Amino acid sequence: MAPVNADIVNGSKVTSPVKKTLPEVEDNGKRYSYEMLVETANFLLSKTDVRPVIGVICGSGMGSLAENISQPECIAYEDIPNFPISTVEGHHGKLVFGYISDVPVVAMQGRFHYYEGYPLWKCCLPVRVMKLLGVKALIATNAAGGLNPNYKIGDLMIVRDHINMMGFAGNNPLHGPNDERFGPRFPPMNKAYNYEFRKVAKEVAKELNIDNMVREGVYTCLGGPNFETVAELNMLKMLGVDAVGMSTVHEVITARHCDMSVFALSLITNECVTSYDHDAEANHEEVLDVGRMRQDILRDYVSKLVNRFVKYLPQNP
Ligand SMILES: O=P(O)(O)O[C@@H]1C[C@H](O)[C@@H](CO)O1
């Protein structure tokens, strides 16, 4: 895999040495160019002295993960050049720079979803900005419905793999001209979720005595915003999906494209209804409630993970 130009990913002032004209894209030049993302990264670097090596994306109702950050410096999305804004309840809409267990991090308190009206490449723009800031590993968290019948509400699922349902229909964050400064045209995805991180996450779950609620499985993202029909869920179950959500997959693809190591964690917030006899209906309030219920455990877990993952990050050349 061609490395991204080292000059632009060391977390120091970013420059854009390579001038390259990409073909017009079908969204008529509205797609952010490399130079615009460099501008965004430079803006952020000028606002903070923190040089993050791990990025965290907080899932729905999981924003309190960022409360773990010491010496926090918050920047609202609306103040960041070229950034979208958060429109969903449970997504605060700010970047938090600081330290978790002495490791410099940046957390997104609020992510962008396709159903908000953002194209996938725009949903994933912050991941590329993180790369330009010098971030080497991404921890993406999400709220998800538990499809595996053994999962209980409040369980945590380490994502072993995903099924890119939206990608099956050709909707992919990497769709359109490829910018080699981020990564190759045809990135592999068979090692999307870092093996060492998953192994460490299972060890840490034991150490924290939460291994009875930590699972490992396959996540899929649908476009939303509606929750799934019974028939859709039964189809996904047959395909081997354990948890269903509306995010993360495209962020992970974008992160792997630019060679970031990835760990993803789903909080099972509701049981997927796979029978017509079942009375329950999924709803966003329940999703947020379960996030609140699990916030202390999640904070401790992610804090320990950051502390352990840092040992596996590639060193600067
Ligand atoms: O941002 P995530 O994936 O955690 O949010 C999930 C999917 C929908 O946005 C929302 C549904 O309640 O939660």
Digit-coded pLDDT (tens) for 134-160: 999 999 999 999 999 999 999 999 999
Q: Ligand 1: distance of its center to the CA of 59 in Å?
A: 7
In the prediction, which pLDDT does 221 show?
98
List 16, 164, 194, 270, catalytic entry: 270
185 labeled binding residue = no
Cβ of 254 closer than 6 Å to ligand 1, yes or no, is no
- Which atom in ligand 1 lies closest to the alpha carbon of residue 284? 12
How high is the pLDDT of residue 89?
Answer: 84
Q: Is 246 in the pocket of ligand 1 (CB under 6 A)?
A: yes
**Residue 270 assigned as binding residue:** yes
Cα 153 vs. chain centroid, distance in angstroms?
Answer: 21
- 78-103: average pLDDT: 93
Across the chain, the runs of DSSP E, i.e. the strands, are 54-57, 70-76, 94-100, 103-109, 137-146, 156-163, 214-221, 243-245, 261-271
Q: What ipTM did this prediction achieve? A: 0.99
pLDDT in tens, 91-140: 789 999 999 999 999 999 999 999 999 999 999 999 999 999 999 999 99
pLDDT higher than 50, residue 3: no
Q: Of the residues 120, 247, 269, 285, which should be mutated to test ligand 1's pocket, given the most ligand atoms within 8 Å of the CB?
A: 247
Does the annotation flag 12 for ligand binding? no
Q: Is the beta carbon of 245 within 6 A of some atom in ligand 1? A: yes
Long-range contacts formed by 210-216: CB under 8 A, 24+ apart: 210/156, 210/297, 210/301, 213/152, 213/154, 213/155, 213/156, 213/297, 214/155, 214/156, 214/157, 214/158, 215/148, 215/150, 215/151, 215/155, 215/156, 215/157, 215/158, 215/242, 216/157, 216/158, 216/159, 216/160
Segment 205-262, tens digit of pLDDT: 999 999 999 999 999 999 999 999 999 999 999 999 999 999 999 999 999 999 999 9
The residue contributing the CA closest to ligand 1 atom 12 is 284
Residue 175 annotated among the catalytic residues of the structure = no
- Tell whether ligand 1 has an atom less than 6 A from the beta carbon of residue 63: no
Give me the pLDDT at residue 12, please.
Answer: 55
Residue 228 is labelled as binding a ligand? yes
Which of 72, 103, 70, 91 lies closest to 305, judged by CA? 103
Percent of the chain at pLDDT > 90 equals: 85
The whole-angstrom separation of Cα 263 and Cα 198 is 7
- Whole-number Å distance, alpha carbon 74 to ligand 1 midpoint, is 22
Q: Of 33, 64, 76, 115, which is the active-site residue?
A: 115
